[in-house]
């Protein structure tokens, strides 16, 4: 067994966001003191495995389990949802893709729900509890905590880059090809439950006088029973939905 050897690693431009060394595009010289996989090398550079779509070593495509050898030259590519070969090293999403996000992405979660995208918000617990929930409900993890995404149990996830909630929505829809999953105003922004139409007469005792007078169409969450109608906020939400549909339509 060879100890204390060097490998050479290059990351695609979009992945340099995660790097300290190599952000300028220069090859990273990585010294290894023991046998290790290419996954370990990638994540030791600061890049979660969930962000990697392709790995080429010495001109040959490999998976995360490839064991490094002296003088290996490694090229790390990002995920390209539109590539002919699909997602490469990442699971291919479909219209039933569901998500779970940590508590720091609450604004993103509400906006995804407005678009009808099934998204749970995990708050008030430890990382291990979040990972357990992710596994239990078979959901894709959304977070800005790259170390969390490096956990071995994370099969599919995404490290959100932007601080802006609308840009975060664009990131997630683009990354997971969710344009076909958009079904506006079908989920409760508060709890993620499905919304159903409900007859106004059944709600009369729950409505304020002005709401009873001026509105006729209502939705109710099947889970938390919260009631929604086309109030003053609807124009702003409608504009948001229209912008998303236009961008990804």
Q: Are 191 and 170 in contact (CB under 8 A)?
A: no
The domain containing residue 62 runs over which residues?
Answer: 5-78
Residue 90 lies in a domain: no
Instruction: Find, among 193, 191, 195, 173, the residue nearest to 182 by Cα.
Output: 173
Q: Quick one: 74 and 118 in the same domain?
A: no
Is residue 229 a part of any domain in this protein? yes
- 17 with 71, same domain: the answer is yes
Can you give the pTM of this predicted structure? 0.92
The pLDDT value recorded for residue 182 is: 95
Max CA separation in the chain (angstroms): 80
pLDDT at 212: 86
Segment 78-98 mean pLDDT: 80
Q: In sequence order, which ranges of 139-233 are alpha helices (DSSP H)?
A: 146-149, 165-175, 209-214
Strand order from edge to edge, sheet including 140-143: 119-122, 99-102, 140-143, 157-159
Confidence band (pLDDT; 50, 70, 90) for 1?
A: low
pLDDT confidence of residue 231: 80
**SS3 of 234, please?**
helix
pLDDT in tens, 144-161: 999 999 999 999 999 999
Is 158 found in the same domain as 106?
yes
Give the pLDDT score at 75. 98
Share of the chain above pLDDT 90, in %: 78
Task: Judge whether 94 lies within some domain.
Answer: no
Clarify whether residues 109 and 173 are in a common domain.
yes
**Nearest CA among 133, 137, 159 for reference residue 148:** 159
**Residue 86 — pLDDT band, cuts 50, 70, 90?**
low
Mean predicted lDDT score pLDDT of the chain: 93
Number of domains in the chain: 3
Q: Is residue 88 part of a domain?
A: no
Same domain, 204 and 238: yes
Could you tell me the pLDDT band of residue 84, with boundaries at 50, 70 and 90? Answer: low
Q: Report whether pLDDT(48) > 90.
A: yes
72: in domain: yes
Say which residue, 46 or 210, is predicted with more confidence: 46
Query: Which of 181, 209, 224 lies at the terminal end of a domain, its last residue?
Result: 181
pLDDT attached to residue 127: 95
Residue 86 lies in a domain: no
Q: Is residue 48 part of a domain?
A: yes
Q: Is the pLDDT of residue 80 over 90?
A: no
CA dihedral sign, ordered 161, 162, 163, 167: negative
Confidence of residue 232 (pLDDT cuts 50, 70, 90): confident
Q: How many CA atoms lie within 13 A of 47 on its CB side?
A: 31
Domain check: are 199 and 235 in the same one?
yes
| More confident position, 116 or 125 | 116
Q: Could you tell me how far CA 221 lies from the centroid of its own chain?
A: 25
Answer yes or no: is pLDDT of 31 > 80: yes
The reported pLDDT for the residue numbered 203 is 86
Nearest to 148 by CA among 131, 172, 162: 131
Averaged pLDDT, 38-64: 97
Establish if 218 belongs to a structural domain. yes
Which candidate, 146, 174, 162, places its Cα nearest to that of 79? 174
CATH assignment of the domain containing 51? 3.10.20.30
* pLDDT at residue 205, as a whole number: 87
Evaluate if residue 246 carries a pLDDT over 70.
Answer: yes
- What is the SS3 string spanning 88-156? CCCCCCCCCCCEEEEHHHHHHHHHHHHCCCCEEEECCCCHHHHHHHHHHCCCEEEECCHHHHCCCCCCC
């Amino acid at each position: 067994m060879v100890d204390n050897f060097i490998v050479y690693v290059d990351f695609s431009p979009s992945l340099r966001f995660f790097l300290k060394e190599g952000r300028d595009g220069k090859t990273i010289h990585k010294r290894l003191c023991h046998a290790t996989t290419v996954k370990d090398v990638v994540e030791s550079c600061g890049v979660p495995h969930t962000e990697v779509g392709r790995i080429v070593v010495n001109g040959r495509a490999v998976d995360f389990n490839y064991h490094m050898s002296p003088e290996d030259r490694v090229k790390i590519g990002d995920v390209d949802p539109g590539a002919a070969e699909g997602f490469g090293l990442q699971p291919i999403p479909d219209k039933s893709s569901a998500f779970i996000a940590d508590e720091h992405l609450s604004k993103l979660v509400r906006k995804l729900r407005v678009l009808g995208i099934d998204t749970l918000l995990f708050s008030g617990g430890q990382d291990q509890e979040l990972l357990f929930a992710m596994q239990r409900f078979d959901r894709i993890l959304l977070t800005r905590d790259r170390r969390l995404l490096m956990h071995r149990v994370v099969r599919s996830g995404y490290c959100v880059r932007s601080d802006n909630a609308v840009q975060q929505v664009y990131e997630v829809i683009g990354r997971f090809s969710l344009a076909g999953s958009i079904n506006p105003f079908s989920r409760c922004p508060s709890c993620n439950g499905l919304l159903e139409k409900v007859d106004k007469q059944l709600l009369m005792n729950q409505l304020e006088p002005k709401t009873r007078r001026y509105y006729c169409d209502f939705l109710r969450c099947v889970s938390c029973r919260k009631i929604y109608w086309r109030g003053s906020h609807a124009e702003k939400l409608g504009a948001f939905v229209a912008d998303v549909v236009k961008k990804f339509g």
